Amino acid sequence: MTDKKIIPMSDDIATPARRPLTLRDVSEASGVSEMTVSRVLRNRGDVSVATREKVLKAAKTLGYVPNKIAGALASSRVNLVAVIIPSMSNMVFPEVMTGISEVLDDTPLQPVVGVTNYLPEKEEEVLFEMLSWRPSGVIIAGLEHSDASRAMLQAAGVPVVEIMDVDGEPIDAVVGISHRRAGREMARAIVKSGYQNIGFLGTKMPLDHRARKRFEGFTEALAKEGIEVMDQEFYSGGSALAKGREMTEAMLKRSEDLDFLYYSNDMIGAGGLLYCLDAGINVPSDLGLAGFNGVELLDGLPRKLATMDSGRKEIGREAARIIAGRTDGSITESGQRIELTPKLEPGETLRRYR
Amino acid sequence: MTDKKIIPMSDDIATPARRPLTLRDVSEASGVSEMTVSRVLRNRGDVSVATREKVLKAAKTLGYVPNKIAGALASSRVNLVAVIIPSMSNMVFPEVMTGISEVLDDTPLQPVVGVTNYLPEKEEEVLFEMLSWRPSGVIIAGLEHSDASRAMLQAAGVPVVEIMDVDGEPIDAVVGISHRRAGREMARAIVKSGYQNIGFLGTKMPLDHRARKRFEGFTEALAKEGIEVMDQEFYSGGSALAKGREMTEAMLKRSEDLDFLYYSNDMIGAGGLLYCLDAGINVPSDLGLAGFNGVELLDGLPRKLATMDSGRKEIGREAARIIAGRTDGSITESGQRIELTPKLEPGETLRRYR
DNA sequence: CATGGCTGTGTTATCGCTAACCTCTCCGAT
DNA sequence: ATCGGAGAGGTTAGCGATAACACAGCCATG
């Protein structure tokens, strides 16, 4: 170091100096090389106790915060995991996140979230953005992606775990449940309980493939029993709880014979349930109800809504485990497939058959 | 380039080659310098239309994804905004996020979220982690931080916006509401409506400073009217809706004279409301109820719960605006302070005075 | 006492990109 | 004809860290 840069000093004496600190500052303050500081700060390689302490003290006094940008570039190790989900305000994805965080907390990896709002173009954008940070892995909701997205994921050269859904062709690994099966099983349970005139209420989301698959499985299983969905309605926007209430009222008014309502998610199901209780409808003997997801919220309802747990937290955990294992080398294979089994929770809005 | 690296070729012919693409690959493919490619990809500087198109085509064919790590290091511009919040599963923070995203979507900035679980140590950790990516700004919930955290934020040399709360000493900018005032106003509204025997139900969270401040403001305003909180209870964990239900039942059983219950959030308030309706309690004439936050969920309840809107989305928007403005230079001052006014929403669980 | 293998530390060369500066051409204004 | 300046593109030198290697002591071994 022969040349000293001219540093614009802060005019405020108390403020340390506006130039961001680097390894060099710490190295100069502690009288060792940058390399040694780096080793101390990363706990790597042999450094004598004396040196280590000297360095740590200097770093702390200066308030040094390592620059991961530089570190990542030099080591081509970026301990980030891109997590790409359709929505945050959905109750289900925060839970997936919780599962992911739980597992990643014990690793050097850190999740970074991107939200697509169920839009393929937005997904592409977010994915591109994320990949440009060269993450160690990608966890992405769903199996349906644009060609460009698939290409990017293929080319990224990092583990990719598609989550939530297993009905389709994964790019690499996949963790989820079969929504088609979930729909089928619910249909069977409903029929077994003796209901015949079934209505369906869902979200108006051509792009929510999982909801669509559940619906398909549902109608398919009903068809096997010779039953057809009697009435259906789809909503978009607004408070799901309120929508469930309104739609239920509307549907019951126009299709009086209905004896069962299947909701594509618990929130509108809860709204429907509240409406029925208000309206004095006899649940589940005159009218059965069921939702989907198994959200915690249901526990506080006056009557527990029948639902099917989608195991979101567990999905998050498993996905994170795969990424973590593949990153630290403890898993070498790729393409793992974990299908969880959605569990029917009959609650108190489904007649007990027999 | 005289030396060619030995690249381990993928054994799969279809897969392009495992070595990550760089600017050089694009530059070679299009016959211009790396610098020109960089200019094209960033839309900066003068590049002829012909060249631009050549480069773009090459980039697309190769499937090139720029490396932001390198870009950020070279330009010392990192278009990330660190957003640090206590929890994700709280309904209120996702909304704040929505507000932030709305504004940042029109800028080159991107939010990155860190979650602290209301733990100061975790906050410190997350903050350190985030700052080591050298973000362009920090949005952080609350005004209470450890000394170390404050020091880091001071030293970071980037705009910092503390959000949600304005009751305290900000580090730099602040956007939020006064929770103390929210508590006071609710207390006044309750008393004005003629209620006298007031119970409080909240979260057992010594570290949720905003809930604490609301409670303080609440009791303080009551005290001015010569009223004291008659009974109180705090919970932690579990489904808030269910807890609200249970706690309400318990409290009403042990303190029969109660004529009003103030809940520290809408979710437990909703649980309480559902319990009361079930139990046949006359709301609001015999018992008044109120929550806090103004969550959308309430719209679907059988009776609209009185609450106070905390303007979460707007808080997110304003915070993001400050960061964006300070980053692009359109705002040069620092230390801005935006206090939003919480709006009382009387709903249908508060007697109309007069 | 030479050889070898640790420890602990420094040196050098990137990582992939961009800032800053530089060159060259072309064109209109003087 | 000369000059200024804009347009198009290249060259060079980092950004702040780490990988990989080099090297100096030091101890044990035969």
Q: Within this chain, do residues A256 and A273 fall inside the same structural domain, yes or no? A: yes
Put simply, whether B20 touches A (Cβ < 8 Å) is yes
The reported pLDDT for the residue numbered B354 is 44
CB distance under 7 Å to strand C: residues: A 32-36, 39, 45-48, 50-51, 70, 73-74, 76; B 20, 22-24, 34-35, 38, 41-42, 44, 66-67, 70-71, 73-75, 77
Structural domain contains residue B56: yes
Query: Distance (Å, rounded) from C-alpha B344 to C-alpha B307?
Result: 6
Nucleotide nearest to B32 (CA to C1'): D9
Q: Do B129 and A112 touch (CB under 8 A)?
A: no
Is the model's pLDDT at B86 over the cut of 50?
yes
Answer with the one of B43, B66, B89 that is the final residue of a domain: B66
Structural domain contains residue A37: yes
B165-204 residue pLDDT tens: 999 999 999 999 999 999 999 999 999 999 999 999 999 9
Q: Within this chain, do residues A124 and A11 fall inside the same structural domain, yes or no? A: no
**CATH code for the domain in which residue B193 is found:** 3.40.50.2300
Q: Which two tokens stand for residue B166?
A: 């304005």
Q: Which of B89, B245, B299 sits opposite A300 (nearest CB)?
A: B245
Q: Within this chain, do residues A158 and A43 fall inside the same structural domain, yes or no? A: no
Q: Within this chain, do residues B130 and B150 fall inside the same structural domain, yes or no? A: yes
Q: Within this chain, do residues A245 and A261 fall inside the same structural domain, yes or no? A: yes
Q: Within this chain, do residues A254 and A317 fall inside the same structural domain, yes or no? A: no
A50-79 residue pLDDT tens: 999 999 999 999 999 999 999 999 999 999
Put simply, whether A92 touches B (Cβ < 8 Å) is no
Q: Within this chain, do residues B124 and B8 fall inside the same structural domain, yes or no? A: no
Structural domain contains residue A198: yes
Q: Within this chain, do residues B15 and B60 fall inside the same structural domain, yes or no? A: yes
Beta-carbon count within 10 A of B16 CB: 15
Across B57-73, average pLDDT: 96
Structural domain contains residue A349: no
Across B105-125, average pLDDT: 95
Residue B38, helix vs strand vs coil: helix
Domain of residue B322, residue span: 78-178+312-342
**How far A13 CA sits from the closest chain B CA (Å)?**
13
Q: What is the CA radius of gyration of chain A?
A: 27
Share of chain A above pLDDT 90, in %: 88
Is the model's pLDDT at A353 over the cut of 70?
no
Structural domain contains residue A213: yes
DSSP letter for each residue of B6-37: -----SSSSS--SSPP-HHHHHHHHTS-HHHH
The reported pLDDT for the residue numbered B353 is 59
Structural domain contains residue B15: yes
Put simply, whether B148 touches A (Cβ < 8 Å) is no
Q: Within this chain, do residues B261 and B191 fall inside the same structural domain, yes or no? A: yes
Query: Distance (Å, rounded) from C-alpha A349 to C-alpha B9?
Result: 59
Q: Within this chain, do residues B90 and B233 fall inside the same structural domain, yes or no? A: no
Is the model's pLDDT at A3 over the cut of 90?
no
The reported pLDDT for the residue numbered A157 is 93
Q: Within this chain, do residues B303 and B282 fall inside the same structural domain, yes or no? A: yes
A-chain residues within 8 Å CB-CB of B69? 69, 72-73, 78, 133-134
**Least confidently predicted of A33-42, A110-119, B12-21:** B12-21
B-chain residues within 8 Å CB-CB of A151? 63
Please state the φ and ψ torsions of residue B48, each to the nearest 5 degrees: -70, 155
Q: Which of A133, A271, A300 sits opposite B274 (nearest CB)?
A: A300
Q: Within this chain, do residues A132 and A233 fall inside the same structural domain, yes or no? A: no
Number of domains in chain A: 3
Structural domain contains residue A48: yes
Residue A340, helix vs strand vs coil: coil
* Residue of chain B whose alpha carbon sits nearest to that of A89: B94
Is the model's pLDDT at B129 over the cut of 70?
yes
Put simply, whether A78 touches B (Cβ < 8 Å) is yes
**CATH code for the domain in which residue A20 is found:** 1.10.260.40
Q: Do A132 and B67 touch (CB under 8 A)?
A: yes
Going by DSSP bridges, is the β-strand pair A288-290/A307-309 parallel, antiparallel, or unpaired? unpaired
Is the model's pLDDT at B128 over the cut of 80?
yes
DSSP letter for each residue of B180-204: HHHHHHHHHHHHHTT--SEEEEEE-
